[in-house]
Structure formats: structure tokens, C-alpha cells
Structure 1
């Protein structure tokens, strides 16, 4: 493993930092990119992840998705690429792209080209999102019985609780995932492309705040009575029928399994539970009666829909964390960081 080089884009992000840590602990040599090598908090976070003997196996590179050619040095010499970096909101200073989708797709295609040109990259593993996998019917009226890898989000519908940023993110992740999967088998080395559409991630974080770990803030929004985060939770429910959730440790282990398989391509959904916002609120009320959840943060829609994805399990993956463990871990983490009061 020490001789196997892998690259993680967006290495100081919520998911990226945990994946970098997991890869280093397993003995891999890691190239991690971040937008600004002059940011001591981000650099310190990554350098602090590894014991002294592993420092030689971590190299940091500065690269911005708005200037995607910068990723090429980090990709050179690597066998596997994990592409996690993505713009959450469009930066209007960058006039070469008109919106988030253009920036995300253009950056991704530049990274694909760098993988093909490298002469070393065998597989590109793209961190996708379940926002691209809506099980809504083509008519837009109701949902299919289950959600699985065959589901793709229609981009001509509007959804309640949506705002411009959420819809822009949904469009960018949907179009990016479709585009990257088209490049499977390209180049002399016949690049293998895997996309992992992750549910709402929670359970724990290496970052210093819940707000920096955005998805976990959304997951506990009913506990914190955070209206903005709760509207994001409800948007996901309106988009996806219910909310697929997954523990950050399971997400990273799924990525590593999709790297370590001798040969693998295609799309995989990654979620161990599929809960309505009302079911999440019920968990908080049942297990933490001292937490007061306002009535406006609870709405039972009574939807009957299941998670039908089995592809990860079919290749040997086993989830370690169920829905209860993910919710409990998220709350415990928020309490550890001082952002939610401890039990009373």
C-alpha cells in the first residue's frame, strides 16, 4: 500500500479529511488537494491527522475547482483518484463560468482529462450525491415504490422548500455524475469510473464546528431549531421521498472498497437508512425527552417508499452504522463541540 499513490481532491472538507485519515491509517500514500495552502487551519487539520511516521506519505497540493488545471500535479503518479471537491455556491468573481453547474462539470472534465493523460490512473471514484437520484415519477406526480441506482433526478421540476442554492447544487451534482460516467473506458488505460451517490452524512466529524460539517447540521436541525437547515432537510424529503442517511465512516469505507476491488465501474448508492423527517423527530423525542422540538419542525407526510439499493452489498460491503447510530453519533458530536447542550 505504501507504494500505491492515491489522490483526494477537497482533502480538507468534511468527507475529504476523514477519507485522507482513513487512507493514511491503511498505509496508502496520499496526495490531498485544498484551495489554499496558506490557510493554517486547513493545512494543520490534514497534517495533524497522521502519526509522525506517516508524514512522508502525505503530500498537500493547492488546487481550486475554478482553475482545474491546478489538479494535474496532484494527479500525476497516482493510481486512484477520489474526486470530492465541488463548488457549493457559485463564486461570481470567476466570470469564465456562469453558474455552479458549469464550474463543477468543467472542473470534473478537466480532472478526467488529467487522469487519462497521466498514464498511471486506473480508476476515478467520484463522490456523488443522492440529490441526483430522486425516485420521483417522470410525471412529477408522486414517487416510485423504491429508490435505487436506476433513479435520476429530473431537472425540469420544482420542489417545495427549495431555494436557488439548493437547486443549483442539485443540477450540478446530477449533470456532473451523468457526465463522468460517460467517460468509463476512455484512454489507453481504459479508465474505470465509479460514482458513489452518498446520502446525508452524519455521525461524527474531524472539523471544529457543525456548520463546517454542513450535512450533519442538517441532520440535527430539529434539535437545534435551525430553520435554514431544517428547510434543507425538508427539501431533501420532497426531492427524495424520504431522507437517505449514512455514517461518515461507512461512506469512507465504501470509497476505499471501490478502490481496492480489482475491477469495478458504475454507479452505487450509499445509505444505510431511509427516514422521513417525522421519523427523525420521533427518534429525538423518544430517546432524548429533555430536548424540546418545536411543532413547526415536525411534519408527517405518511409516505410509503423504500430504499431498494443493494449494489454495494452485492460487492461485499457491510454497513456498520444504522439510522439510530448515525443520529445518536451526530448529536453526541454536536454536544462534544459545544453546539448542543448536554443531557439534562
Structure 2
């Protein structure tokens, strides 16, 4: 990775700093000499703050701020003075919700626009936003023999029909971010990670690890419409820093280790952990996924090296064991 230009003098802000991705990002930034303003939902909640305060460099270079995605004014203090903003926070609810518009879509959309507005008003130089690969697929118009890449956008109407509200929220939030950046002249670059796995620095496990644990326990998830692979959380954090530090990086960046199907993933898990009751998919309904070894070309060209999936899975399982979850 290119070394950081400003040495220790540079202040950056991370929204959603206490989460699965956010914590690794904060750790990586502190390790590279940045001063970090990280936002959390509740400063009184030790499960959000303690694991961040114990990171190397945190005592002198990390400040935590309480932020509410629906309260635009709550963004300002954390963003004030920052050269860069990493927008990681987004509501994640993967189970069916009673009121998807209010629980997911609104907070994702409003939260994103409030963060970008604060960044613009405070004169921030560059915003790096975490979107998702779920903002790329399903795309019925995509050529059948082509590996999914940054040009693909998920079909909102189809997502709504399928009631994939998290995917709807990520797609709409990313589209709104691009519109805002264009209209307001804000420098924006976006990361679109696949299913994020790996060890967590958080005391309890968050949504994507919860999902992985349930797959290991034999639960069947229907992700045929949008699953295209996995990525290590440490690679996601590294990719975000690379996107921030490389002025040449622009646009969207698909972030995954390899392009694979759900059937490949469950077969691999069942093979690696025969003692677990992983549900092996019988019928592959994902002919639309073109398998590929290194699909994240843009990131690889910027110097990101992806952790092999077997290692990510092993480290995730070790993390579960250390927490007494398996």
C-alpha cells in the first residue's frame, strides 16, 4: 500500500465506526498514523465503544461521537475539520421487516445524504462510501456470459418484488450519493463488497456473521437472486484505505475474493467442516453468476491483495470458537 501522504497530521471521520467493518477500518487508519473521529450510535454503550478504545493509538488519536443517521445535525461535530470521510454506517436488517421504508430505506437514504451534506459543508476533500454488491445484482439486462462488474446496477423494481429491502436501501442510497456528488461537486468513491466474513473486533457478532453462523448450523438461506461471493473484512478495510489514499481511484469498486455461486459456497463449507450440518444446495439456480477467480480488477490494480476464502472461513470459525458460538 502506498504510504500515507500527510503522516500523522491528517484527520478522517468514520461513520459506523463501532461495527464489523468500521472497527477494522478504524484500526487500520490508526495503524497508519491518522487521527480518527468515529461515530457510534450510543456513547454510553460499552459494546460499541470499548473495543475501539483499546486499539493501538486510540488513546491519543481516536475520538468517538454519537450520531443518529436520521439527525443531520448530529453528523457535523464528527465531520468538522476532517480531510476525508468514510461513510460505513447503514442500517442492516436482513430479516423481513414490518415497515421496510422506515426501518431501512429512509435511514440509509437520509443518512447517506446527511453525511454527504456535512462533508460538503465542512469542505471535506474526499468521501469513501461503503455500498454493497447488492446494489449491482440482480440485473436482468446483464449479458449472460459476462462476469458482474462495476457497470451493473441492481434492478430496483425486481428487488421490491422480491422484498429484498436491504438491497433496495443500499441501491437507492448509492444512486442518491452519486447524484449528490455530481450536483454538489463532491469527490466521492464507492466500495461494493460482497458477503463480508472474517474475525470481528466487536464483542458480539453482527448481521453478516450471524448469517454465516446460521448457514453453518444448517439454516437454509435463499440468496439465489444476489449472492456472488464473499470477501474478508480485513480486505474491505484495506480497500477503503486504498481508495482514500489513491487520488486516481474513481467510481465504484466491486470487492470480493472470487465470483462464485451459493452452491459452491455451501459445498465448500460442508467439505471443510463435515462435523457441521451445513445445508448443501441441491439445485443450482444461479446460472446467471459467471464464476471468476479475480473479479475485483479495479482494486487489484490499486494494489489490494485478497485473502483466500479458506483462510477467511477458518479465521471466522476461530473467532466463533473464541466467543463460544460453535
TM-score (norm 1): 0.83
Flag structure 1 segments of 5+ consecutive residues without an equivalent: none
CA deviations on 1:323-342 (whole Å, 9 max, x unpaired) are 222222222221222111xx
Residues in 2 aligned to 1:253 and 1:22: alpha-carbon distance in whole angstroms: 7
Equivalences, count: 312
Deviation at 1:197, TM superposition (A): 0.5
CA deviations on 1:258-284 (whole Å, 9 max, x unpaired) are 111134321111101223222222223
Residues 144 and 180 of structure 1: is their aligned pair in 2 closer, same or farther, counting only changes over 3 Å? farther
The answer on 1:322 being equivalent to 2:293 is no
Flag structure 2 segments of 5+ consecutive residues without an equivalent: 1-6
Residues 29 and 301 of structure 1: is their aligned pair in 2 closer, same or farther, counting only changes over 3 Å? same
Residue number in structure 1 paired with 2:235: 250
Residue number in structure 2 paired with 1:132: 135
Residue number in structure 2 paired with 1:178: 175
Residues in 2 aligned to 1:264 and 1:293: alpha-carbon distance in whole angstroms: 39
Residues in 2 aligned to 1:245 and 1:302: alpha-carbon distance in whole angstroms: 15
Deviation at 1:173, TM superposition (A): 0.5
CA deviations on 1:7-34 (whole Å, 9 max, x unpaired) are 0001111111111111111111000001
Deviation at 1:68, TM superposition (A): 2.5
CA deviations on 1:295-330 (whole Å, 9 max, x unpaired) are 5x65444636135441112233222x1222222222
Match of 1:23 among 8, 19, 29: 29
Residue number in structure 1 paired with 2:13: 7
Residue number in structure 2 paired with 1:219: 212
Residue number in structure 1 paired with 2:65: 61
Deviation at 1:87, TM superposition (A): 1.9
Match of 2:225 among 239, 257, 282: 239
Residues 46 and 143 of structure 1: is their aligned pair in 2 closer, same or farther, counting only changes over 3 Å? same
Residues 5 and 288 of structure 1: is their aligned pair in 2 closer, same or farther, counting only changes over 3 Å? same
Q: Superposed, which structure 2 residues align to 1:1-344 within 5 Å?
A: 1-51=7-57, 54-89=58-93, 98=102, 100-119=104-123, 121-138=124-141, 143=144, 145-157=146-158, 164=163, 167-184=164-181, 187=184, 190-209=185-204, 212-225=205-218, 227=219, 230-231=220-221, 234-235=222-223, 238-240=224-226, 242-294=227-279, 299-301=283-285, 303=287, 305-307=290-292, 308-319=295-306, 321-340=307-326
Residues in 1 aligned to 2:110 and 2:234: alpha-carbon distance in whole angstroms: 29
Residues 252 and 197 of structure 1: is their aligned pair in 2 closer, same or farther, counting only changes over 3 Å? same
Residues in 2 aligned to 1:135 and 1:144: alpha-carbon distance in whole angstroms: 15
Residues in 2 aligned to 1:88 and 1:180: alpha-carbon distance in whole angstroms: 18
Deviation at 1:89, TM superposition (A): 4.5
Runs of 4+ in 1 over 6 A off after TM superposition: none
TM-score (norm 2): 0.87
